[in-house]
Amino acid sequence: MRVKILIRLKSQILEPQGKVIEQSLNNLGFNEFNNIRQGKLIELDLPDNLSKEEKDQKIDSACKKLLVNDIIEEYEVLG
């Protein structure tokens, strides 16, 4: 199965790249886009025969050990 992990800075942490995107979009006339923040997307394949619990446990473990800096980032798993 293909899994998406969305990694974003916690909301209280400044994310300047999103501000740059927002300003650029505003300059192009896209004024409805607000509060833009950029994060990371990690997509990966896991074996289909894993149970949901095994899958969640492996992803959580990989996020905690490598992918996510728990101090400033949070993550969300889709699929």
Residues near a second copy, by CB under 8 A: 4, 6-8, 18, 21-22, 24-25, 28, 30, 32-47, 50, 58, 61-62, 65-67, 78
The residue among 24 and 71 lying less far from a second copy, judged by its C-beta, is 24
Cβ pair 21, 36 in contact under 8 A: yes
Considering the complex, state which of residue 18 and residue 71 has its C-beta at the smaller distance from a second copy. 18
The Cα-based distances of 7 to 26, 28, 42, 48, 64 in angstroms read 25, 27, 8, 23, 12
Nearer to a second copy, 61 or 69 (CB): 61
Minimum CB distance to a second copy, residue 71 (Å): 19
**CA dihedral sign of residues 27, 29, 32, 33:** negative
The answer to whether the beta carbons of residues 64 and 1 sit under 8 Å apart is no
Residue 14 Cβ, how far from a second copy at the closest point, in Å? 15
